[in-house]
Structure 1
């Protein structure tokens, strides 16, 4: 399939730059997975759209303050040069001293360059990863970079289509209310619509829930550059499925109850860990799964998700789930109805 098969016209004013005034008060589109039928609703309607006994699976990864700025040090200790932006993706050693990063304007960031961060910590570029034009760099520090270091030195890693600096609102709103396990470089944003009040309503309807962890990295968000999408290679992301979660999923599958994945990251986790019958194995692993039309879903029956960017792996995933024409038709209607798109935007339930 061609990359252009997943394009659509999106007015820039529909790209949400800030969260809605109140968490959970967003618009909701209901899309029939087979029929392509569309209904325009609100997030408040969600509990009435889900059958009792459905198992909802959420990704509880927490966003790390992973966008950090370092100042290049000259050969004379203490003399600084230009500021450089680093996105910290994941640690490469258990001692938290060597990190895989993506660098903005990486061409000038050479092996051996040293950078001083906000608290005075110094990192050294020890490897230029990939080809000559790669934006990835390996950085070594003399001290471990723990969560407290990122809280002191880092910024919320808002996606590039949000054209403003992060502020105090983002510290709360670019994080799900159930976020627990720190490690993501971007928020699993479908979960941003849920509140404790919504969970109470779902409980009252006998709708079960459980949690997995997939730390969101570049595998989800890097642009597809290959014109033939089959040639695109996903970056690796790490996940954990607790054993009690695996038991709940496998019980639901055995009993014929729907498994509703909240967010594409939950979809990726469940489909990566499931066998041909949709049963999953508890534990940790990594995935570079790439789902596009033609993929056969084994575990997931329903999907709750946001509206995604044109030509992205995310719109390809939902197109694999509900059909490319159904998705593109629904997106055209969303544009006509002025839904808000992307991370801070509105949501869709596919069933």
Structure 2
């Protein structure tokens, strides 16, 4: 059977948001990762035939071959979920989103509850640390969707990441439930470790590139020994990854995310494309970075890229031939992406099969290999 690559046969299928709904029992939403990264499960979907097969993630070594270029996202998740006490005694929850320009001590933050908070107010971070860390409200701003956000001053910029490592929690998505921490939480250090890829390098993400969570150092070494070429991009995942589609499918927009692609990675991808070798994106973030920087058909390196790329029906893939991805929420932009890539019916049939076989879903869940 002749292999059909995504960029050779771009999807022209049309579908609407209501077509991307599926039934998911609540107990299949993974609350914790698999005990060993590469022992999660893997559903392999053949795009050309729609055939589905079931494996362990470590079996992916049998589906990759020498000369394939595997692209992973090496962004590092910031421990950006904070709990702070007001002078009145009330507790607020903060999610740091991004530092403001070069001022690493000033961060834009989503806050609940935000009522009655004032510029200049001092907050005490809730933790078992001693002495307690204090932060202040530097400004209140309005985001592009009309919601209030804070600008918080975390103190001396050289101390910011050490403070966050000491008191911050992993910015888990809302479908992963943890007890509200009033200090040290038994899951905090475990989540800080497991909601992070083994190749995480550059701090900046407020959500993990979850497809990469399945790769252990052992598996990466085995792939390299087999001749798979592993290269890195950096895309700092923002809060928009969880943004629901509230309009129709065509009018949704994606919040800008920063990315970089080295010359080494671009050269490896361009050489593979010219020689007919496969480019395999690990996760939607890697795919979006590649397709943003590769619209000309050649991957262009960049130190300061920004993407709002929303992959939807009609999109023509220029770079990617296969991908590793987790299972995504109904009617989400990520589900739109994989349905555009693999075909709506293929994806919905694969998801139905995954539910039947009791796969674990979403960030801490199992994976798919779409080829």
Q: Could you say which TM-score interval applies, normalised by the shorter chain?
A: over 0.9
User: Which deviates more, 337-346 or 152-161?
Assistant: 152-161
Q: Is the 8 A contact 1:58 1:209 kept in 2?
A: yes
Compared CA separation, residues 239 and 338, structure 1 to 2 (3 A):
same
How many angstroms apart in 2 are the aligned matches of 1:278 and 1:34? Answer: 25
User: Which deviates more, 168-177 or 259-268?
Assistant: 168-177
2:311 counterpart residue number: 291
Q: Report deviation, 1:240.
A: 1.1
How many angstroms apart in 2 are the aligned matches of 1:31 and 1:188? Answer: 20
Q: 3-state SS of the aligned residue for 1:249?
A: helix
Q: Is the 8 A contact 2:105 2:160 kept in 1?
A: no
2:35 counterpart residue number: 21
Q: Is the 8 A contact 2:266 2:301 kept in 1?
A: yes
Give unmatched runs, 5+ long, in structure 2.
Answer: 1-14, 127-131, 180-186
Deviating beyond 6 angstroms after TM superposition, the runs of 4 or more aligned structure 1 residues are: none
For residues 95-117 of structure 1, the C-alpha deviation after alignment (integer angstroms, 9 at most, x for no partner) is 22321111123344455544232
Q: Is the 8 A contact 2:107 2:151 kept in 1?
A: yes
User: Which deviates more, 17-26 or 164-173?
Assistant: 164-173
Q: TM-score, normalised by structure 2?
A: 0.88
Q: Is the 8 A contact 2:135 2:152 kept in 1?
A: no
How many angstroms apart in 2 are the aligned matches of 1:131 and 1:282? Answer: 26
1:115 matched to 2:123? The reply is yes
2:6 counterpart residue number: none
2:149 counterpart residue number: 136
Compared CA separation, residues 112 and 123, structure 1 to 2 (3 A):
closer
Paired residues in the alignment total 344
How many angstroms apart in 2 are the aligned matches of 1:54 and 1:346? Answer: 23
Q: TM-score, normalised by structure 1?
A: 0.92
How many angstroms apart in 2 are the aligned matches of 1:320 and 1:8? Answer: 16
1:6 matched to 2:20? The reply is yes
1:77 counterpart residue number: none
Give unmatched runs, 5+ long, in structure 1.
Answer: 74-79
1:262 counterpart residue number: 282
Q: Is the 8 A contact 1:114 1:124 kept in 2?
A: yes
1:156 matched to 2:170? The reply is yes
1:76 counterpart residue number: none
Q: Is the 8 A contact 1:107 1:135 kept in 2?
A: no
Q: Report deviation, 1:199.
A: 1.4
Instruction: Give the CA RMSD over aligned residues.
Output: 1.9
